[in-house]
Amino acid sequence: MNAYVFPGQGAQFVGMGHDLYEKYPIAKELFLKANNILGFDITEVMFNGTAEGLKETKVTQPAIFLHSVILSKVMGASFKPDMVAGHSLGEFSALVANNTLSFEDGLRLVSQRALAMQKACELKPSTMAAVLGLEDGVVEKICSETSGIVVAANYNCPGQLVISGEITAVELACEKLKEAGARRALMLPVGGAFHSPLMEPAREELATAIDNTNFASPSCPIYQNVPTTAVNSPAEIKKNLMLQLTAPVKWTQSVQQMVKDGATVFTEIGPGKVLQGLIKKIEPTAETQSPIVDS
């Protein structure tokens, strides 16, 4: 079975999507439509901007969404997913790819999500850190015993977990994790504690927007970050999407479940190959690939 997976924040690069814009009329049409919906020239930042400009949350999230969704559109009839999943932000791309959300509604929600997250980041200084070489249970235990807010946020693959929370709590947890034998506990250059309780103001804002958006029946199941199993009900998809900002990204568990349910080939749709690397660590027997599009 074919699983299509969609990356999240961090996969962006200057020039992303420009080849699609130049080659495919449908891509050009959607990029220009995106400029109108967002109210600024995102194509200019994506194609000709700076890495710094592309790092702005209000740009990064729509840019990755656009690259992923437009890439799936130009694949035409060869895009035939039996199941989809997205890493954090990538879940919105996946929901357009399996026809749960329209392109326009997906882009609006992603833009609102980015702005809401940015606001939440400004309310309280917070950060994230990557922890390598420890079992999930050990990381969870140390986080729960550390004073302040710090939680497991991204279960990326076995032995690679990202923690998230208040700056002092994350720093303290990193020290304890190194003492417990972590190969690395490295602070990440991010401006906020994504997928932690500190994102509650953003979750509330986004929940209202999701509530007011039409979700159709998907053309194939999505394996959401919450609850990591196949979901087909629009109402359930909505509910899970509302939880996503404050709940952890259980990528390891999602991929394991997809394999259990018959996934044999994982195609990563979007910039980069980060998810292919993670999937190989989660399930070494799975085949991973980038999409092939006609030139």
Measure CA 247 to chain center. Answer: 13
The answer to whether 88 is a known catalytic residue is yes
Of 68, 88, 126, 164, the catalytic one is 88
Sign of torsion over alpha carbons 114, 256, 72, 19: positive
The answer to whether 195 is a known catalytic residue is yes
* Whether 222 contacts 263, CB under 8 Å: no
Q: For residues 165 and 195, what is the distance between their CA atoms, to the nearest angstrom? A: 9
**Longest distance between any two alpha carbons in the chain, whole Å:** 55
Instruction: Give every CB contact of residue 17 below 8 A, 6+ residues apart in sequence.
Output: 27, 31, 43, 46, 47, 63, 66, 67, 70
HSE, CB side, 13 Å, CA atoms: give it for residue 265. 11
Of 68, 72, 164, 195, the catalytic one is 195
Kindly list the catalytic residues. 88, 195
